[in-house]
Amino acid sequence: MRNSRVLAALLLAVLAATAGCGKEGSPPTKGPKPEDLPKYQVDSAFSLPDSGTWNKAKRRGHLIVGAKEDQPYLGEKDPATGTYSGFDIEIAKMIGASLGFASKDIQFRTIASANRETALQNGQIDYYVGTYTINDMRKKLVGFGGPYYMAGQDLLVRKDEEDIKGPEDLVGKKVCSAAGSTPYQRIQADYPKATLVAYDTYSICVDNLLTYQVDAVTTDDAILQGYAAKVPDELKMVGKPFSQEPYGIGVPRSDNALRFAIDDALATLEKDGTWKKAYEATLGLSGVPAPTPPPIDRYPAS
Ligand code: GLU
C-alpha cells in the first residue's frame, strides 16, 4: 500500500516536473507562457562608470546572473533547452534591460543558497536574483538592491498530515531545508527539538517528503506554493507564515553604484506596472494575486 503510494507520488512528481502537467484527467499545471511575459525596454544609452561590475559586464558583452533552477514560478531551468523562467528571472531581465543589457545578453548560472555570498565575492556573477532574503548578517558580506518581494517562512507537508499545523508541532519530526538558508537557521535556533535535515536544494527536500524520508519541508511560502501546485493531490502548505523574508538582488558588497542603480530601476519598474505584469505572468500563476511590493530599502553606502 505504502509502496504503491510512494511510486504514484514519485511518478507524479516526475510527470509534473518534466511535462508540466498534472495527473491524468486533471488540468495541466499552468506554467509561464512566453507570450504573456512583458518585453523590457533596453536602455542602450545607460552608463554606470562608477560600477566595477557594470564595466566588467560591458567589456564582456553580457551579464552573468546567479539564480535558482528548481523553484517553480520563481526560477526554473528547462532541462531540454537550458532556458530559465519565473518571477526571479523576470526581475533579473527587467533590471538587466535598465542597465543596458537585452534579455539575450544575460547568462544565468545556478547557484545554491549556501554559495551565494562566495559567488558574489569571487566575481563569478554580476548579481543574484533567487529568493535571496536581505538580512544584516548577509549585508556584511554582500550588498542588496530592493527588496522586490516579501515572502514568509512556511511548511510543506503531505496531504494526509494532520499533526503539523505550525513550527511548534515539529518536535521529534524530520524537517528538511536548504543548507545556508534563513529558514534552516530559524528552525535550528528557535525549534531545536525538530530533527533538521539539509540538502543543497528544496527540490531534493520535496522528493524526500514524497517518499516519506522526512515529515515536512520548510522554506518561504513563495517557494513552497510552487511545489504544492505541481502535486496538489500529494502535498499541501500549512499556510501560516512565521517570518518575514524580504527578497533582495544580491550585488558585490563594495559596488554601491550598482546597488543604487538597481534600486532606481526597480522603483521605476514598480511604478510603471512592469513589475506587476511580470508577477502575474509567473508567480501569480500559483494563485496569489499581485501584492504591493515592499518599500525599497536604499540604505547608505558603508
Ligand atoms: N529566502 C530564504 C533565504 O534566502 C530561503 C530561500 C532560499 O534559500 O533561497 O535563505
The predicted pLDDT at position 287 comes to 84
Q: Is the CB of 177 under 6 A from ligand 1?
A: no
pLDDT digits (tens, 9 = 90+) for 69-110: 999 999 999 999 999 999 999 999 999 999 999 999 999 999
Q: Is the CB of 132 under 6 A from ligand 1?
A: yes
Q: If you measure from the C-alpha of residue 20 to the centroid of ligand 1, how many angstroms do you get, rounded to a whole number? A: 24
Helix (H) or strand (E) holding 12: helix 2-19
Grid coordinates representing 269? 519598474
Q: If you measure from the C-alpha of residue 32 to the centroid of ligand 1, how many angstroms do you get, rounded to a whole number? A: 22
Q: Quick one: average pLDDT of 167-194?
A: 98
Q: If you measure from the C-alpha of residue 251 to the centroid of ligand 1, how many angstroms do you get, rounded to a whole number? A: 16
pTM over 0.85: yes
Q: Which ligand 1 atom is at minimum distance from the Cα of 245? A: 1
In the chain, the domains with their CATH numbers are: 2-7+153-238 (3.40.190.10), 37-151+247-286 (3.40.190.10)
The predicted pLDDT at position 20 comes to 38
How many whole angstroms separate alpha carbon 80 and alpha carbon 5?
Answer: 28
pLDDT digits (tens, 9 = 90+) for 236-264: 999 999 999 999 999 999 999 999 999 99
Report whether 269 contacts 92 (CB < 8 A): no
The predicted pLDDT at position 218 comes to 98
Q: Is the CB of 154 under 6 A from ligand 1?
A: no
The CA-atom distances, in angstroms, between 233 and each of 60, 228, 229 are: 47, 9, 9
Sign of the four-CA dihedral 166, 169, 171, 174: negative
pLDDT digits (tens, 9 = 90+) for 134-171: 999 999 999 999 999 999 999 999 999 999 999 999 99
